[in-house]
Amino acid sequence: MDDKIRILLSEEEVAARVKEIAEEISRDYDGKPLHLICILKGGVFFTCELAKRINLPLTLDFMSVSSYGAGTVSSGIVKITKDLDEPIEGKDVLIVEDIIDSGNTLAYLIEVLKQRNPNSIELCTLLDKPERRVKDQVKVKYTCFTVPDQFIVGYGLDYDQIYRNLPYIGVIEQQ
């Protein structure tokens, strides 16, 4: 726990940007019901703050996924470790992620969810690391911040499961 963490985005900067994105989402969906899917665990802090500021009839569900083992990471095959509670057929779905890097897991997840016939499916992320992208078919509709290819913690993002609860977004400094 004695890592040195440099603040990249302060609590205030994150709050202001989340509010902006929530307003954009509220305008785009124009009074229609929206179904948020939070990707656990990292997406949970962002999802809560975002949901509170979206002015639409909103429902929430949660999903947890993990890569299918070391050798298959590049294939993008993922295991659903916690599936949704509710069907998404006919719904306008917005997937909420903490960070998108390679896009492998998400590309697979989107294909799985599309087979359940939502009315629409879009992606919203707190952070995007485009330098790491290998799956360019992953189109992100809402991005709060684009970050450099450094190891980020806080606001849901962990290092070995710690630091998720930091109220800001930081980078672990090499000691």
- 101 is a catalytic site residue: yes
40 or 58: whose CB is closer to ligand HPA? 40
Assess 106 for contact with ligand HPA (CB under 6 A): no
Q: Which does 36 bind (CB under 5 to 8 A by kind): ligand HPA, Mg ion, none?
A: none
Assess 121 for contact with ligand HPA (CB under 6 A): no
Sheet holding 78-82: strands in order across?
Answer: 78-82, 58-67, 34-40, 92-100, 120-128, 142-146
- Residue 53's CB: how many other CB atoms inside 10 A? 15
What H or E segment, with its residue span, contains residue 38? strand 34-40
The 3-state DSSP class for residue 120 equals strand
Give min distance, CB of 137 to ligand HPA, in A: 19
Q: Which of 131, 151, 167, 173 binds ligand HPA (CB under 6 A)?
A: 151
Q: Which of 3, 83, 101, 160 is catalytic?
A: 101
The answer to whether the CB of 11 falls within 8 A of the CB of 46 is no
- Footprint of Mg ion on residues 96-155 (CB under 5 A)? none
Cα gap 32→77, rounded to integer Å: 33
Mark 15-54 with x for binding to ligand HPA (rule: CB under 6 A) and - for no binding: ----------------------------------------
Q: Which residues contact 58 (CB under 8 A, 6 or more apart)?
A: 33, 34, 35, 36, 51
List, by residue number, the catalytic residues. Answer: 101
Residues near Mg ion (CB under 5 A) are 158
Residues near ligand HPA (CB under 6 A) are 99, 101, 151-153, 157-158
